Structures are given as structure tokens and as C-alpha cells.
Amino acid sequence: MRVNKVATAAVFFMAGIGLSSLGINWIIYISAAVSFLALLCIKHKIKIVFALIIFIVFLSGAFYYNFRTAWEKYGLVFGEQTTVYGVINSVPERSGGTQRLIIKSSDAGAIIGATTYSAEPFEYGDLVKISGSLSEEKGGKISFSAPTSPKILKHNAGSKIKAVLFALKDSLQNNIKRALPPDKTALAIGTLLGDKSDFTKEFNNALKRSGLAHIAALSGFNVMIFVRYLSPIVGFFILHRGWRFGVTSLVITAFIVMTGASASLVRAGIMGIVGMVLKNQSRLTDVKFVLIWTALLMVLADPAVLVFDLGFSLSFAALIGLIYIEPLLKKWLVRIFKTTEKFWSGWKGLALQTVAAEAAVSPIIFLTFRQFSPWAIFSNLLIIPLLPATMFMTFLVSIVGYISSVLSAVFAWPLYILVSYEELVINFFGRGFI
């Protein structure tokens, strides 16, 4: 088997980051790297010089992680009273009288979390002054312990583009809320925009137990649906291939930023854009290499995401399941039932994809939450085929709301039926009756 040298270097660079972030003794992970490289030299007959270069790349990954974490904490004082000036970096999460603020420090650029009981309506872009004791959590996350009430020093100090996108998101949500009954808006908004702030605790638990939490988490599947519908719409208005690609990429990027830029969204967005590039250039490539470069870009931007971001782990695990496990399942079924591969398409293909993805993510979910959904295959088969229609109708209702509230309410009727059915399935399988 031929070893792709650049891809191997990228994997070892990320391995260095991953092992370093876990806090493993350097003697252990260096010994592991040397042993694996020795195996590559013997089995794949790679040259010693290349093995040494890979080893240096591996150490570079470890150095990069430690350098980045030290740089981001520069100037911060931990374990004692301190004051931080910074800009609120995302839309505050409000729940039960509390507000969760994510603040980007003006000095070091560190991202700091703070939970406040203040009734002040904080917004993205507010420059605030906040005091308290800083502590470092798992994964290098920094947060305030019992902070004082933040004081707003200035409004609109953040990115103007992000502010416009967040305002657009709020406007779209308001249009949906005006068209649908209050008890049906939460799931519709969740599937399109990933906002779960209106979900009750019981409904959240039902989503997890039914194995359907991903439909309201804006996973890669949601982005794939978005790209699938977006491309022909843009192509209808813009004929030039280059301009069409540019506009589509900008809209995908704006959508990802507007909806929170989670790890799964960023991964799906990069994969979608790379896929369009390859399609436009009529090139075929091994998807696992695209996967490696996507992971590398995300890890370079935030090294902690490799080990400590659950969304990153789940999204890549699901994609690995589709790349490697699904073809094996299909070949096995073709041989067992003596059918053609074409036979395993349509709803049967969807079932295989669901099984493959669940097989890949289930170990991570079980280790993280001690939770396993044996009926997830059935619940996904009942809902996933309808998810594109749900997202499209939600988007249509939100856009038509700018033109006419009456017309928006008319389009909301089929959406109401879809959401009602989906809630029925979620609550049914969420009971844990099996």
C-alpha cells in the first residue's frame, strides 16, 4: 500500500496536538510515535529520512498546542480577583434568569465564559468590564467563577458583519414565531437555524433518548441539505461558474457564522465548499484526504477542538462511518442476499447510512453520556426523509414573512403538519419504552 506522505504528515501533526492536549507524559507519546513510525518503515518500506521528518512534524504539533494555549492565556491572572475588558463574542444564551456570555479579552484575545444573573440585556458586540476569579476548565476553556455583574462600556464594538447576520437570524426566527403556534416553533427553528433555546428540558431529553438530537443541532446533514437546495437556486440567477461558486461559498459561510459556527457546521461547510471546487474542476479525489485537510484547518484554528469539542468528534465520526462502514455493510448484504448494489438505494440506502453513522458515533455518545439508543435506526428512518421538506418549508415561511404575514401563515400549515408528526415520533421513541 502506498503511503501519501503529505497526508501522513498532517495526521502526525494532529496526533502531536491530540496527545499533548490530553496531558499524556511526553515519554509515553514520543515512544508511541517512534514505534508507529518504525512499523511504517518495516511494513510500507518508507525511508528513514521521511520517518525522521514525520517525527519532527509530530513534535511540532505538540509544540503548537502548548504555544497556542500559553499565548491565549498571556496576561490573564488565575485564582484571584481580576478585571477583564472584552467584547461579547456571540449571542448570549439566556435560560432561567441567567445569561451565559462568551467574552473575547481585549488584551490577550482569550475566550472567556461568564454566567451572570444580571437583568441587563447583553448583546453581541457589547464591550464589557467584568471582575471575578478566573479558572481553567477541561480542554483549556477559561471561565469566571462567581463574576460581578458585567458593566457595558460600549455597544456595537464587534464585527459589523456578524452583527448583521445575528440580527437577520433573530428576524427570521420572529417571522417563524408569528406564523406557527408557540408549541410548534421550537423544532422548526431548531432544524433550520440550530437554536434550541425554546426547547423544554423534557423535549431535549426525548431528542437524546430517541437518537434524534442531531436534527436540531445543525449537523453536517443539515448543511448538506442547505447546499443541495442553495446551489441550483444560485445557479438559476448566476450563470458564470466562477461567480456562482463565489456567491454560493459566501452564503454557506454566512449561514455557518449566523448559526453559531459549531465544529460540525464548520466541517460540513468546508467539505461542501471543497466538494464544489472538485466538481467545478471535474476532478475526482479520495474523500478521506479532504477529511484530513478539513480536520487540519479546524485544528490549526483551534487546537483544543480535536479532543475536547464533542461536536467535532461526532461529526467526523459520522462521516468516517459513511466512508468506511457503509460500503462494508453494503458489500456484506449484497453477498448475503445475492442482490445488486443498486438494490440497496432509496430508503434501504438511507437505512444503511443511518446504521453506519450510528455505529461510528455510538461509542463516543456512550462514553460521554453513558447513553445508547438501540431504536435510533427506526426513529431516524421515520424522520430523516422528511427533514429536507421541513427545512425548506421553515425557510419559506421565514422569507415570505417579510412580504405578507397572511401568506406566511398559509405556508405554515404544511410545516405545522410536518413538525407535529416529527414531534410525535421524537416523543414516542424518547420514552425509552424498549
Instruction: Note the pLDDT tens digit of each residue in 90-125.
Output: 888 887 778 889 898 887 678 889 988 888 889 999
Q: 270 or 360, which is more confident?
A: 360
Q: Are 246 and 129 found together in one domain?
A: no
Would you state the pLDDT for residue 434? 47
Strongest mean pLDDT among 36-45, 259-268, 318-327: 318-327
C-alpha span between 105 and 5 (Å, rounded): 39
User: Is the pLDDT score of 417 beyond 90?
Assistant: yes
The CA-based diameter of the chain, rounded to the nearest angstrom, is 72
434 within a domain of the structure (yes/no) = no
Specify the pLDDT at position 340: 81
- Please say whether the beta carbons of 293 and 340 come within 8 A: no
Rounded average pLDDT over 51-55: 81
Confirm if 432 and 390 have CB atoms less than 8 A apart.
Answer: no
C-alpha cell at 222: 443539515
| pTM for the structure as a whole | 0.75
Torsion, Cα of 245, 248, 252, 254 (10° steps): 110
Q: Which of 165-174, 199-208, 313-322 has the lowest mean pLDDT?
A: 313-322
* CA 393/CA 383 separation, integer angstroms: 15
Range of the domain at 376: 166-429
Based on the fold, state whether residues 226 and 292 are members of the same structural domain.
Answer: yes
- Of 118, 139, 158, which residue is a domain's last? 158
The per-residue pLDDT for 121 is: 86
Q: Which of 168, 158, 152 is nearest to 124 (CA)?
A: 158
Q: Report the CATH number that the domain containing residue 87 is assigned in CATH.
A: 2.40.50.140
Query: With 60 as the cut, is the pLDDT of residue 332 above it?
Result: yes
Residues, the chain, total? 434
C-alpha neighbours within 13 Å on the C-beta side of residue 383: 31
Distance in angstroms (rounded) separating the CA atoms of residues 9 and 397: 48
Which is more confidently placed, 300 or 212? 300
Q: Does residue 399 share a domain with residue 337? A: yes
pLDDT of residue 2: 47
Mean pLDDT is highest, among 46-60, 78-92, 229-243, for 78-92
User: According to the model, what pLDDT value does residue 420 have?
Assistant: 94
Q: What is the identity of the amino acid at 395?
A: F
The total of structural domains in the chain comes to: 3
Any domain includes 288: yes
- The model's confidence at residue 1, banded by pLDDT at 50, 70 and 90, is very low
- Are 122 and 258 within one domain? no
260: in domain: yes
Average pLDDT score, the chain = 81
Based on the fold, state whether residues 198 and 282 are members of the same structural domain. Answer: yes
State how beta strands 142-145 and 111-116 pair. parallel
237: cell is 440567477
- pLDDT band per the 50, 70, 90 thresholds, residue 128: very high
Query: pLDDT band at 21, cuts 50/70/90?
Result: confident
- pLDDT score of 407: 92
User: What is the signed CA dihedral for 331, 312, 139, 165, rounded to 10 degrees?
Assistant: 180
Q: Does 302 have pLDDT greater than 90? A: no
Shared-domain flag, residues 151 and 227: no
**What would the grid cell of residue 137 be?**
476548565
What residues contact residue 201 under an 8 Å CB cut-off, 6+ apart?
A: none
Considering 56-65, 219-228, 270-279, 349-358, the range whose residues carry the highest mean pLDDT is 56-65
Q: Which residue has the cell 477529511?
A: 291
Among 72, 96, 112, the domain-final residue is 72
Same-domain pairing of 30 and 132: no
Beta strands in 203-251 (DSSP E): none
Q: Compute the average pLDDT of residues 314-319.
A: 79
Is 12 part of any domain?
yes
- Are residues 186 and 217 located together in one domain of the fold? yes
3 state DSSP class of 342: helix
Give the count of beta carbons closer than 10 Å to the beta carbon of residue 407. 13
Q: Tell me, yes or no, whether 173 and 263 share the same domain.
A: yes
Does 242 share its domain with 313? yes
Which of 38-52, 265-279, 380-394 bottoms out in mean pLDDT, i.e. has the lowest? Answer: 265-279
Of 20, 41, 72, at which residue does a domain stop? 72
Q: Which three cell numbers stand for residue 185?
A: 416553533
Residues 123 and 19 both lie in one domain:
no
Contacts of 17 (CB under 8 A, 6+ apart): 61, 62, 64, 65, 299, 303, 306
pLDDT digits (tens, 9 = 90+) for 372-407: 677 777 888 888 888 888 988 998 999 999 999 899
pLDDT digits 0-9 by tens, 247-258: 877 887 887 777
Same domain, 226 and 363: yes
